[in-house]
Amino acid sequence: MPTATAPRKRRTRKASTTVKQPRKSASKVTPEVKEVKKVRRNLTQLNGFELAILPLIYLEGFAKLVLKIV
C-alpha cells in the first residue's frame, strides 16, 4: 500500500532590506580653473620645440574637421 508523503516546501528568498546608495562620481568634483590667456606670436619668435609641434597641431585640427563633415 502506498504511503502518504508530505507536500514539498517552496523555497522563498529573504526580503532584502538594504538600500543602495548612489555612487559618487569623480566628475562632479571640478577644480577651480584659472583664466587662460591666448598668446599669438610670429613664426620667427617660436623656439625649436614649438616649431616641431606646429604641424601636428594643424594636422589634428584638420582631422577633426574632416571627421565632423563625414
Q: Report how far residue 44's alpha carbon sits from residue 30's, in angstroms, rounded to the nearest whole number.
A: 38
What does the domain layout of the chain look like in residue ranges?
Answer: 42-70
Which residue would you say has higher pLDDT here, 16 or 50?
A: 50
- Contact of 46 with 55, CB cutoff 8 Å: no
pTM for the full predicted model: 0.33
pLDDT the model gives residue 66:
86
Query: What would the grid cell of residue 60 be?
Result: 589634428
> d(Cα 26, Cα 28) in Å, to the nearest integer?
5
Backbone angles phi, psi at 43, to 5 degrees: -60, -30
No. of helices (H) and no. of strands (E), the chain: 1, 0
